[in-house]
Amino acid sequence: MIERAQLAVPSLDPPRLVEHHTDFALGEWGDLFIPIWLRRTHLFAAQRAIAESARMIRQHPGGIAMLTVVGPDAGPPDRAATALLAAHMTSIAAHVVYSAVVFEGVGFRAAFVRAVTTGLSLLAKHPYPHRVCDLALAARDISVALNEVSKTPITSAQIQSVVQQLRQQADTARVGQVLPPP
């Protein structure tokens, strides 16, 4: 397992929207990977998220943190995506230093998606710190983890702002847009 002290600190540069589709968007901020599930989580979406997280792991050999955002219109992942994502999260466990899943939706549908995601998290038995919570708690925990190794303090408010900036970028991006790595 990667030691937390090996985690690099995200830059204070703006976050980068890496890819955007109707159903999902993928973003990054330093070595913080931020998949945003907007509608359906299907096999193609899972494959793209896996490819991007693998690229980030290669780029950040000290490990990555993951902040998964489930939008208010997102449904539960389909079976193929669920199986693929669960297997991937297990396979990259040695490279993940922190993970959180946050939900933006309310009501019955959001509760159903939260229940499915929580169940998947319990089955996966993550060997790294993992939470299913709201954005404020996830941002606080990620900032604490990053500040253990940072000389430049990262605040919970900055992480929340990064998510908001990525959402805004996704709202204005062309659907199907894939941006080359820097």
Rounded to an integer, what distance in angstroms lies between the CA atom of residue 74 and that of residue 119?
A: 17
Cβ atoms of residues 76 and 85 within 8 Å: no
- Sorted by sequence, the CB contacts under 8 Å of residue 84 that are 6+ apart come out as 43, 46, 47, 50
- Confidence category of residue 105, pLDDT binned at 50, 70, 90: confident
User: How open is the CA angle 151-145-102, to the nearest 5 degrees?
Assistant: 130
The full DSSP string for 54-91 is HHHHHH-TT-EEEEEEE-TT--PPPHHHHHHHHHHHHH
The candidate with the shortest Cα–Cα distance to 66, out of 110, 2, 20, 152, is 2
Cβ atoms of residues 149 and 7 within 8 Å: yes
Q: What residues does each domain of the chain span?
A: 4-170
- Confidence category of residue 4, pLDDT binned at 50, 70, 90: very low
The sign of the dihedral angle between the CA atoms of 174, 180, 181, 182 is: negative
- Confidence category of residue 126, pLDDT binned at 50, 70, 90: confident
pTM of the model: 0.85
Q: What is the pLDDT of residues 13-63, one digit of tens each?
A: 889 999 999 899 999 998 899 999 999 889 999 999 999 999 999 988 888
* pLDDT computed for residue 57 by the predictor: 93
The candidate with the shortest Cα–Cα distance to 161, out of 9, 12, 8, 39, is 12
- Confidence category of residue 12, pLDDT binned at 50, 70, 90: low
Of the ranges 2-11, 13-22, 173-182, the best mean pLDDT one: 13-22
Average pLDDT over residues 108-121: 76
* pLDDT computed for residue 25 by the predictor: 95
* pLDDT computed for residue 18 by the predictor: 92
Say yes or no to pLDDT of 121 above 90.
Answer: no
Average pLDDT over residues 104-125: 76
Average pLDDT over residues 87-109: 86
Say yes or no to pLDDT of 86 above 90.
Answer: no
Rounded to an integer, what distance in angstroms lies between the CA atom of residue 115 and that of residue 101?
A: 12
